[in-house]
Structure 1
């Protein structure tokens, strides 16, 4: 038996609540209670809500390390000349240089058009631009690394030269190496460094931040019949193992971000369970990335709306993630998401302004 801690009972501000609330991961969210989830054989078998005040009086009962993970501030990302603060939600814009991505495949005629799109995302407020050259949508087939490099390298080079903070979305060490040489500052690996045995050492040698994403199965089969005993516990434990493996490979924990893998080997019910429990994953002690933009779950909940008609649902999930302290929100619709988060930030700033 063991216990996981999920922050809950979020409050608008800490004023007047000394000793009764805690700050989530050094961000803009404060919580007054924690749900203690009892886990046995990989499943949640019990739950109890205790106040922050009660919990802080009993941290010696084995909760101190996880409590520190939940409340400690996350270090900013240094991406080239840009410093991306993680004390507030940041937007990562998606540029897919692929013919078959589920939402925007084939959208860009060439590298120049893709780079222009990425630059416009930066101008609209995206802190990071994530460039991908291989679709990992359900049913997608692998792409030869040479083709993937040919797709992403010129886009990365143009964006980096223009001053953008660039991430490359890839599972392959050679693509990582080429993209980093072209000016990329970050790796986003949907396989969490499991697809290519050389990828972990590549990231460690480069000293760049990396996103480790949970997945179940290969892209061409992951949605055939995904199964979990308890999706929340299993994803949490799997990511904890991948963080440990990355550290063992020489990657600094401060350079590791985690992503629950919304839609990657998961049903609609699995995805919604992970979203409802997203705050739990701060217990891993790493910044959280959420990539739910235009995903099929939105369509499933809205009369099978096609991918290009899922903006409203994408914004709803982005705000749900922000309310649970997610630090990086990966999206297709940058201007709209930035605006939504600015309004959310305005509400938080007002709540956190001392009363006079």
Structure 2
């Protein structure tokens, strides 16, 4: 599939699927909670993610796992701001993962260059105007409600059509509030108010999102649907979150092949290699197609070796 090119304010064009490395500074995230609470260690990890091939480091201070409770804004600010500043000062492209306008504004002031809002602007009515003022790219993820109740909201007749339609409504809302359409990145929200079959259906139809005309961010990392796919054949126990990275990398490269602008992952190194392989194959296919067109043939014939 031919890759669409997008111009996003303040961001480079990587000419391939970008890799967003996850840096959770939370005690309760589902696979790495508590690991990077110390700001110094978190900054070191952010720099390590960049060294391993992350194009973007996504810093979040509030867990959005199913059932998670919200934290006070002051606590979220205290967690994320030192961790945004450190990598940003070293030239790392940082995004802020938050549903709060005040956190987004403070993080952008401290060097974040993307706002990644899992609620797509719905959790905080001030978010869209804050993003509009900042001018930075804004991730609008499909969202039906807060984490504590999301599993009860996974009710679809046609998940691909309904999720896309709801994201369009969210896009329209933030644009009406002043966000430039050129700032918008869309995300189908794998695992958020989705059942296992819903996630697979969305992944199988990512190319349909090209019709929205906006870059697509996909976040499959260590998600429940992968753990269930890889469940122990005897006990039926889902594979643990930290043992889903190979499946995550496979999912990420399939997303890249369907035109995803970026994939969001915990373990960067394997995914960074995988998307570069996909980009190389895409490039060679394009070159071969050009050669075929110039030679007036759509297929090269091979003669038997004597």
User: TM over 0.5: same fold?
Assistant: yes
Per-residue CA deviations over 1:5-26 (Å, capped at 9, x if unaligned) read xxxxx5xxxxxxxxxxxx342x
Q: What does residue range 10-49 of structure 1 map to in structure 2 within 5 Å?
A: 10=1, 23-25=2-4
- Does 2:146 align with 1:218? yes
Change (3 A) 1:77 1:103: farther
The structural deviation recorded for 1:76 is 4.2
CA distance, structure 1, for counterparts of residue 279 and residue 113 of structure 2? 27
CA distance, structure 1, for counterparts of residue 76 and residue 183 of structure 2? 25
In the alignment, which residue of structure 2 is the partner of 1:165? 93
Decide whether the 8 Å contact of 1:74 with 1:87 is kept in 2.
no
Q: What does residue range 1-356 of structure 1 map to in structure 2 within 5 Å?
A: 10=1, 23-25=2-4, 73-78=5-10, 83-85=11-13, 87-224=15-152, 226-303=154-231, 304-354=238-288, 355=291
Decide whether the 8 Å contact of 2:219 with 2:264 is kept in 1.
yes
Decide whether the 8 Å contact of 2:26 with 2:37 is kept in 1.
no
For structure 1, the residue ranges without an aligned partner over 5 or more in a row are 1-9, 11-22, 26-72
TM-score scaled to structure 1, two decimals? Answer: 0.77
The structural deviation recorded for 1:163 is 0.7
CA distance, structure 2, for counterparts of residue 224 and residue 249 of structure 1? 29
Greater percentage in helix: 2
SS of 1:222 mapped into structure 2: helix
Per-residue CA deviations over 1:278-335 (Å, capped at 9, x if unaligned) read 1111111110000011001000101110000001210121011011000111011111
CA distance, structure 2, for counterparts of residue 106 and residue 267 of structure 1? 27
In the alignment, which residue of structure 2 is the partner of 1:38? none
CA distance, structure 1, for counterparts of residue 213 and residue 174 of structure 2? 14
Per-residue CA deviations over 1:73-128 (Å, capped at 9, x if unaligned) read 311451xxxx4215420000000000000111111241111111111111122111
CA distance, structure 2, for counterparts of residue 214 and residue 119 of structure 1? 29
For structure 2, the residue ranges without an aligned partner over 5 or more in a row are 232-237, 296-306
Decide whether the 8 Å contact of 1:76 with 1:86 is kept in 2.
no
Greater percentage in strand: 1
SS of 2:230 mapped into structure 1: coil
The structural deviation recorded for 1:198 is 0.7
Decide whether the 8 Å contact of 1:216 with 1:266 is kept in 2.
no
Decide whether the 8 Å contact of 1:77 with 1:85 is kept in 2.
no
The structural deviation recorded for 1:349 is 2.2
TM-score scaled to structure 2, two decimals? Answer: 0.90
The structural deviation recorded for 1:155 is 0.3
Decide whether the 8 Å contact of 1:288 with 1:326 is kept in 2.
yes
Decide whether the 8 Å contact of 1:101 with 1:136 is kept in 2.
yes
Decide whether the 8 Å contact of 1:213 with 1:258 is kept in 2.
yes
CA distance, structure 2, for counterparts of residue 352 and residue 205 of structure 1? 40
